[in-house]
Amino acid sequence: MEPAKRATSTLISNLGALLRDQGDLDGAEALYREALEGHRETLGDRHPNTLTLINNLGLLLKAKGDLDGAEPLYREALEARRETLGDRHPSTLTSIGNLGSLLKAKGDLDGAEALFREALEGRRETLGDRHPSTLTSINSLGVLLKAKGDLDGAEALYREALEAKRETLGDRHPSTLISIGNLGSLLQDQGDLDGAEALYREDLQASRETLGDRHPSTLISINNLGGLLEAQGDLDGAEALFREALEAKRETLGDRHPSTLTSINNLGSLLKAKGDLDGAEPMFREDLAASRETLGDRHPSTLTSIGNLSVLLEAKGDLDGAEALKREALEGRRETLGDRHPSTLTSIYNLGSLLQKQGRLGDAIPLFWEELEGFAARYGKGHKETRSSARNLVEVLTEAGRQRKAGEIAAAYGV
């Protein structure tokens, strides 16, 4: 009877994999859980097939966003593989990397770093410095160090990975191009814009040659170089690239795809930076209309789009139009994030600043008071954000002729 049970569990697991590949994650989860129960019963908790299924269920839960549900499965698989296969077995190293990625996704960067370092050390020892799996571990650790702010540590790893890929895969391999782009992004973060530009241009030229002008990776490369040129002040060069990326995305992805909307917003922001407010406005309006339609009025991206358009209208002198949008953004953030979230406090300040510009100090002062109280509650009186907010409130109170209250605030916050 047991062989029949094992065969049934395997069949259920295979069906679960099929549903996963079709995008039916809930259906896949139910089948994976049923198959895992059968595997535990017929094969035991430490059998390789059971551990594979435990790992697959963990991966599925992670894909569904259930990180807390995935973690005990990852930990069980790793503990069992250490016990049955040893610390340096390829399957154990895979489990170490999987758990590291999960911890990173949960924000536990220190826990993730320890695991990524162990996986890298194990792969260097068992596979060598140039093996594809070792290079994956090098890149994973580099990305983590960048996220932790250790840019020098990340750079050393990115350079090692790139050198190895150039040597083993060639300069035009897709994996090499990813490493070129990663290093370029890191150099840009470090302020080495010339070094970043050389890498971005190499990446883009190679992507055009090997993948074509409309390939998603090419479009990412176009956008990266455009963003760099914008940072360097070459707004005309950036505009040409942003327009190329947007045209290609409209053609290949459609007008409502999130990536298309990102490009619409990028171009709108660039036109605004160039002073072409009339050219920027239809971009921001299209982005906002599409975000409302596809994501809803309260989605974070929609609220960002509302804020972008409000800033543009304010710059164009349409203060009534700007005020309506700023109020909507503030209401949405209060509702979805709460009154003390940094984004909510920013919206409070933005609305207060607009009202101040309109001369409506009586309406602006309560908002600036709320912003100050929010920062003080969140960060404490001595934090730079709190002190900046206090200075602003002192200035507005003084402007309104309320010198006594302004003095009290200045004394209380030491500004």
Judge contact between 347 and 329, C-beta under 8 A.
yes
Range of the domain at 374: 359-415
Res. 264: pLDDT tops 70:
yes
**Would the pLDDT of 3 be above 70?**
no
Residue 305 lies in a domain: no
Q: Is residue 286 part of a domain?
A: no
Q: Would you state the structure tokens that stand for residue 379, as one six-digit string?
A: 């960060």
Q: With bands split at pLDDT 50, 70 and 90, how would you rate the model's confidence at 87?
A: very high
Q: Give the pLDDT band (50/70/90) at residue 127.
A: very high
What is the CA 121 to chain-centroid distance, rounded? 28
Three-class secondary structure of residue 191 per DSSP: coil
Q: What is the pLDDT of residue 391?
A: 96
pLDDT 10s digits, 308-365: 999 999 999 999 999 999 999 999 999 999 999 999 999 999 999 999 999 999 999 9
Q: Is pLDDT above 50 for 171?
A: yes
Contact call for residues 176 and 165 (beta carbons, < 8 A) = yes
Query: Is residue 62 in a domain?
Result: no
Q: Is 364 exposed, middle or buried (0-12, 13-18, 19+ CB in 10 A)?
A: buried
Give the pLDDT confidence score for residue 10 in this predicted structure. Answer: 80
3 part of a folded domain: no
Question: Does the pLDDT of residue 2 top 70, yes or no?
Answer: no
Q: Write down the residue that tokens 């209401």 correspond to.
A: 331
316: its two tokens: 């164009």
Please give the Cα distance from 220 to 243 (Å, whole number): 13
The Cα 181–Cα 231 span in angstroms is 16
Share of the chain above pLDDT 90, in %: 93
Whether residue 196 is contained in a domain is answered as no
User: Which pair of structure tokens corresponds to residue 110?
Assistant: 């220190």
**pLDDT band (50, 70, 90) for residue 11:** confident
Structure tokens at 112: 């993730």
- Please name the amino acid found at residue 267: L
How far is it, in rounded angstroms, from Cα 29 to Cα 49?
17
Measured in degrees and rounded to the nearest 5, phi and psi for residue 145 equal -60, -40
- The mean pLDDT of 224-233, rounded to a whole number, is 96
Mean pLDDT of the chain: 94
Distance CA(260)–CA(263), nearest Å, equals 5
In this prediction the pTM is 0.78
Q: Which two tokens stand for residue 109?
A: 């960067």
Evaluate whether residue 408 is within a structural domain. Answer: yes
| Total domains, the chain | 1
- Residue 376 belongs to a domain: yes
User: Does residue 390 belong to any structural domain of this protein?
Assistant: yes
Give residue 1's pLDDT.
42
